[in-house]
């Protein structure tokens, strides 16, 4: 018989607060067109993106995360000292170690929390949210700060016509804590490693051991059509599985917050899922671009701030991207 005592966590977990930070510099399609042969009309028709935010040297991954975290903590009514774990999802923190989560935890005033980074691309927020839910329920932490943050402008090839217009920078954060009722549903997640070449970094970091490698600085590249087909058809199935796992139907939804990858993907998923007209759909990509792990919390924050969604709404969130990886769940909005 095991001598381990049962965990003393909460029966359920929920998102208690959300915060976001977008860099001050707004970059129009006209700026992108300075380095690629395209047009504003083509960019908008292919992606739905009109503008995106790019970070200044001072707006580091850590600095943006601290700003977003402060807003999330205030929104949740939770003090930094109450945070038991900090989880950061990012692919654009260039230090392999230490984890940027430790720096963020220190800067917000958290007291010796568990702190670690995860790399799950555009599905990273969903992965972090799932881990946070588990920590709260098992009792390892009463409150968990989950951050999705990217400086993808550092990994953008401005001469690549297929991707130069896609990516933006920003940070989104949520505080996850105890709940008396279910407020974060089961997560449907997974990976398809056979498609890992469809979205990837062009060259590995170790290629830079030699200063005369001749390689351009790494950038993110993707096979657009392959990613589009996978996202529209396969991710719609995953989204439906998340609804089924939560025991609800599309009719029960109030809000749909997909990863803000591309407006065409979002619109196609809405159609494939046959979402009712009353469901509010996040389309933050138009003015924020694709911010990878930050896109879902940033879109969530904007919907709540503008009144397009309200506290207590039932939302389906789904992230998907490089790996290829994905994560979908149903949540109650804070």
Q: How far apart are CA 122 and CA 103, in angstroms?
A: 22
Q: How far apart are CA 133 and CA 184, in angstroms?
A: 8
Which residue among the candidates 29, 259, 262, 278 is catalytic per the annotation?
Answer: 259
Q: How far apart are CA 122 and CA 127, in angstroms?
A: 10
How many other CB atoms sit within 10 Å of the CB of residue 95?
10
8 A C-beta contact, residue 172 and residue 147: yes
Active site residue 122: yes
Q: How far apart are CA 262 and CA 231, in angstroms?
A: 10
- Give strand ranges (E) for the chain: 12-21, 25-28, 51-54, 83-89, 114-118, 143-151, 169-179, 188-191, 199-201, 220-222, 255-258, 280-281, 314-321, 325-332
Active site residue 290: yes
- The candidate with the shortest Cα–Cα distance to 44, out of 166, 150, 224, is 166
Active site residue 259: yes
8 A C-beta contact, residue 319 and residue 327: yes
Q: How far apart are CA 38 and CA 164, in angstroms?
A: 11
Which residue among the candidates 29, 53, 93, 122 is catalytic per the annotation?
Answer: 122
How many other CB atoms sit within 10 Å of the CB of residue 282?
23
- The candidate with the shortest Cα–Cα distance to 132, out of 173, 73, 85, is 85
8 A C-beta contact, residue 184 and residue 333: no
- The candidate with the shortest Cα–Cα distance to 197, out of 172, 176, 227, 171, is 227
- The candidate with the shortest Cα–Cα distance to 93, out of 61, 66, 67, 127, is 61
**What positions carry a catalytic annotation?**
122, 259, 290
């Amino acid at each position: 018989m095991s001598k381990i005592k049962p965990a003393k966590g909460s029966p359920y977990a929920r998102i208690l607060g959300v915060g976001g930070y977008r860099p001050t510099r707004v970059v129009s399609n006209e700026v992108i067109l300075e380095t690629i042969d395209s047009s504003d009309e083509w960019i908008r028709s292919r992606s739905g993106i009109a503008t995106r935010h790019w970070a200044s040297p001072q707006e580091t991954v850590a600095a943006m995360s601290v700003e977003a975290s402060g807003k999330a903590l205030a929104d949740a009514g939770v003090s930094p000292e109450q945070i038991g774990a900090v989880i950061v999802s990012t692919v654009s923190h260039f230090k392999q170690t230490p984890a940027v989560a430790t720096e963020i935890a220190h800067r917000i005033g958290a007291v010796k929390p568990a702190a670690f980074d995860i790399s799950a691309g555009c599905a990273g927020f969903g992965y972090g949210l799932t881990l946070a839910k588990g920590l709260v329920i098992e009792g390892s932490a009463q409150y968990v700060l989950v951050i999705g943050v990217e400086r993808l402008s550092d990994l953008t090839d401005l001469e690549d016509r297929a991707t130069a217009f896609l990516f933006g920078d920003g940070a989104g954060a949520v505080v996850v804590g105890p709940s008396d009722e279910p407020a974060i549903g089961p997560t449907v997640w997974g990976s398809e490693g056979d498609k890992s070449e469809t979205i990837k970094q062009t060259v590995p970091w170790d290629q830079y051991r030699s200063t005369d490698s001749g390689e351009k600085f790494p950038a993110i590249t993707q096979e657009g059509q392959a990613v589009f087909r996978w996202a529209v058809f396969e991710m719609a199935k995953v989204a439906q599985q998340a609804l089924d796992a939560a025991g609800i139907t599309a009719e029960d939804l109030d809000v749909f917050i997909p990863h803000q990858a591309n407006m065409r993907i979002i619109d196609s998923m809405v159609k494939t899922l046959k979402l009712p007209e009353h469901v509010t759909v996040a389309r933050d990509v138009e003015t924020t671009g694709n911010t990878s792990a930050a896109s879902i919390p940033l879109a969530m924050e904007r919907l709540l701030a503008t009144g397009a969604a309200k506290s207590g709404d039932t939302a389906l969130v789904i992230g998907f991207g490089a790996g290829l990886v994905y994560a979908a769940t149903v949540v109650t909005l804070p």
